[in-house]
Amino acid sequence: MDRAWMQEAFAAGDGGRRLALVVEHGTDIYRRLAPMFRAVSAAASVDADVDEAWKVIVEGRRTGMRRLMKSMQDRGELRAGLGPTRAADIMSAVNRHEVFLALTVESGWSVEAYKAWTYATLARQLLGDRQGGDALAPGSSATAGLSFEAALRDLLV
């Protein structure tokens, strides 16, 4: 939560930009950790200390997601009837190491294509109709200047 990009996400002007920043920078972390993920997962299955450390990391991510989703709910950015806990659950299920590896390593997607798909999926699932439509519109300020802007346009054509 102390990372500059998370602070930027909380300070962003709308929910679309918040999601876009989380996808942009969170995925860059996955890119760095991906080569180690299988080893960490295997170690966690046989070493209680590694398993506990991994659980702390996962819970820290979920706590951060819940805080962000609560902030978005308070601003009226989540779709009607969606609370911050369920929104964080959706975000955690879609935006995770395993999905990153499945799509980029196993399926051969570019990192930018993964980011675009993740962002589009989260925008459709989490944002209200108006916000979601604005966030996915060509040339949206939500994704301006981010690495997956062109891939998003290609995905939505």
List, for residues 14-42, the tens digit of each pLDDT value. 999 999 999 999 999 889 988 888 888 89
pLDDT band at residue 6 under the 50/70/90 scheme:
confident
What is the mean pLDDT of the segment spanning 42-49?
Answer: 94
Tokens of 119: 């962002």
Question: CATH for 4-156, among 3.90.1720, 1.10.3470, 1.20.1740, 1.10.357?
Answer: 1.10.357
pTM for this entry: 0.91
Tokens of 98: 């395993």
Residue 157: is it exposed, middle or buried by C-beta count within 10 angstroms (0-12/13-18/19+)?
A: exposed
List, for residues 77-101, the tens digit of each pLDDT value. 999 999 999 999 999 999 988 999 9
Which residues share a beta bridge with 78? 127
Q: Where are the alpha helices (DSSP H) in 48-140?
A: 48-74, 84-94, 97-101, 111-126, 129-136
The Cα diameter of the chain in Å comes to 48
